[in-house]
Amino acid sequence: MSRFRSLLQASVNATKKALTWNVEEWVPPAEKHIFKFHSKEDLKKWHLYSDSEYGGLSSASLEIPDKGDGSDYAGIFSGNLSVELSEGSKWNISRSGFCGMRSKKFDGFIDLDGYDAIALRLRGDGRCYISTIYTENWVNSPGQAEDNSWQAFVFAPKNDWYIAKIPLARYLPTWRGNVIDVEMEMNPGRVLGMSLSVNAEGGAVGAKSGAGDFRVEIDWIKALRLP
């Protein structure tokens, strides 16, 4: 009987240990690095786009500065927003004045299940930028190759480094830059990529807007579990 009790107690202890381990395994870390912008190799994971592909005159670049002073490296997304169209353009676009940087395609998904927000560490120019999350296509455009896109504004204060925290619930479903008036929820477990873009028009009240130069330094992008 004593041996039976010992075996039973050992089994109970093992079960408790397994349950504790499973719970700890299920809860994700408080933060998850998604992208960093500390080297030229990091920047190769992104590509640029602008209205110039459709007859616009905006331009953009994504660079890592050559530093010799020991300061931290960060990617610089900069360029010029123009609301003009090139003469003789074959494209009939309703608006110009936009540039963006989008992560390149990769195998699999970014799993953000268990996280509440996206955080970006950046230093900007007082403009309002657009953070976009792309998820697997299953609602917005069935039968088409486009990903579902979810967008939220992010303000980039001038001169000072700032960590912007955007709750996932604040991202709205969009199609070609326009908000879709439907009730739907993002699937954070099937994220295909992200982008950061800027428009000459629109944004938060009080933010810099209009045609002209733009510049934002970006250090990293993370997913966060909020308290």
The reported pLDDT for the residue numbered 223 is: 97
Element containing residue 24 per DSSP (H, E): helix 2-26
Structural domains of the chain, ranges and CATH numbers in brackets: 31-224 (2.60.120.430)
Entry pTM:
0.81
Per-residue pLDDT of the chain (227 residues; tens, 9 = 90+): 455 455 445 454 544 444 444 444 567 789 999 999 999 999 999 999 999 988 899 999 999 987 655 456 899 999 999 998 887 676 666 678 999 999 998 788 899 999 999 999 999 999 999 999 999 865 545 455 568 899 999 999 998 899 999 999 999 998 877 788 777 888 899 999 999 999 998 777 788 999 999 999 999 999 999 88
CA torsion sign, 23 to 35 to 51 to 217?
positive
The reported pLDDT for the residue numbered 119 is: 98
- One DSSP character per residue, 47-71 reads EEEEGGGGTB--EEEEE-----S-P
The reported pLDDT for the residue numbered 91 is: 65
The reported pLDDT for the residue numbered 144 is: 52
The reported pLDDT for the residue numbered 68 is: 52
Residues forming a β-bridge with 167 = 117
The reported pLDDT for the residue numbered 175 is: 81
The reported pLDDT for the residue numbered 86 is: 81
Number of H helices, E strands in the chain: 2, 13
The reported pLDDT for the residue numbered 114 is: 92
Within 8 A by CB and 6+ apart from 220, the residues are 33, 34, 35, 36, 37, 120, 121
* Gap between the Cα atoms of 214 and 216, Å rounded: 7
